[in-house]
Amino acid sequence: MTWRIFQRVSFVVAVTVAMSATGLAQETVVLGGWALDEGDVVLTSGCMRTDMTYEFDEAEELDWTLQAQWSVCDSTSTDILRVQDGQLQAVRQHIVSGTETSLQQVDNLPSRRSEEDLAYAGLVYEATRDGDVWTAEPLVEPTEAQQVILDAVAEVNFFDDLEYPTTPVAVGESWTVGVEVLEQLHGPRNRNAEHAQTIPLDSLGTFEGGPAAFLSYELESEDAGGLGEVSRGIVIRRLDLMIDVVRLRVGTRYGSGGNTREDGTTFTSTSEGTVEAQYRQWVRRAGE
């Protein structure tokens, strides 16, 4: 899948139209919880594009600049295997496909472009809950790159929408997602950022024939290497399915650092750029 600027603009216009549609009758709504049944399948597809500029300051005043673009697209299917007492207990997930396209240029030298399949594409595994912890078991022998995904299941919660409250929220009301929850949702990159995320419920309406909540958010994060991001996003959450059917994110990234090579030479670097992500989810009901 390739995302183009005109697709993004058209989609944002469509989202704006949906948000201006006639609102739902109720003034409050519950956003958290589970609504899908055993046998349902969630289909996810999306892309994230990053454009970065790196400035390198070498020893003896040897400076150079790297312009880099990455676009990562993937699609997954998640089968709902077991639901108990209104809580998801087990899933089977298949990373169906994935590609990474990159374009790099150093100073005025010719650019280099590459496109390849993501190393973790093709992974199939089952994940089960034990209390608040998920564990994953591969259904086919995993590659080294696929094992990284399996190991991450125990650290990053891929399956629970922990950011949504299970008590009623009114239109115009905001709630706060703490650092501890953000760590579970996004992993280690948030551990050096002393912040919380505030999410407002902007409006209620319909989207693709079902009741929906329209939300927005701002998020700051920084990893141990000093790479940070400040982003804003739009979310459309189907209330009959209790899943986010649309997620859009646009932000800026920054960083600085340095290193010493094996030959003893040193360098420092700074980076800045933009990130843009779009993800969609659909549900195929059991028996359809």
pLDDT averaged per 10 residues, the chain (length 288):
31 41 64 95 96 81 84 96 94 95 89 91 95 91 92 84 91 86 65 67 94 90 73 94 95 83 76 94 90
pLDDT of 26 reads 58
- Within 8 A by CB and 6+ apart from 60, the residues are none
Return d(Cα 171, Cα 213) in angstroms, integer. Answer: 9
pLDDT at 116: 92
- What pLDDT score was predicted for residue 31? 95
For position 177, what pLDDT does the model report?
Answer: 84
**Token pair listed for 30:** 């519950």
Task: Confirm if 61 and 269 have CB atoms less than 8 A apart.
Answer: no
Q: What is the pLDDT of residue 1?
A: 27
CA end-to-end distance (rounded Å), the chain:
25
CA 127 – CA 80 distance, rounded (Å) = 10
Q: What is the pLDDT of residue 263?
A: 73
Closest CA to 1 of 71, 70, 68: 71
Please, are residues 156 and 190 in contact by the beta-carbon 8 Å criterion?
A: no
CA dist 124 and 93 (Å) reads 6
pLDDT at 139: 96
Query: In the structure encoding, which two tokens stand for residue 264, read together?
Result: 């003893």
Determine the pLDDT at residue 219.
Answer: 78
